[in-house]
Structure 1
Amino acid sequence: MENYFTAVVKAVENSTAFLPCRPMKRSGSETGLDEVNQGTLLWKRASTNDYLIHDNRRLHPDTRFILDMSSFNQTVMDLRIDNVQRTDEGIYICLFSTGQQVYKKKIELNVLVPPIIYENSSSPTKVVVQERVNTVLHCKAWGVPQPTVTWYAVPLDGHQRLLNRISDPLPPTIRMTNNKIGQLLHRTTMVRAVITGNPINSFYWEFERRPIYGPNSNCLIPMPNDKYCVLVDKFNAIQREVKTTLFITNLTKHDYGLYTCVVETPFGIFRNSTEVFREFKRYILHS
Structure 2
Amino acid sequence: MRKPSLDDLNIFIVAANQRSLTATAATLKMTIATVSRRISALEATLGIELLYRSTKGLTLTPHGESYYRECEELVLALDQRILDLDQALHSLSGPLKIMAPVNLGSGPLDAFWRHFIHRYPDIALTIELDNNVVDIRDHQADIALRSGPQKDSTLIQKYLGYIEPVLVASPTMKHSLPHTVEELQACPSVAAKMFSEWQLFHQAGSQHACHKGHFHISNDMNIVLNLTKSGAGIALMPASMVANSLQAGELIRVLPEWRGRHREIFLVWPYRRSLSARAKLFRSELIEFLSQQAWFHSAG
Taking structure 1 as the reference length, the TM-score comes to 0.24
Higher share of residues assigned strand? 1
| Greater relative contact order (CA < 8 Å, ≥ 6 in sequence) | 2
Q: Which has the higher helix share?
A: 2
TM-score under structure 2 normalisation? 0.23
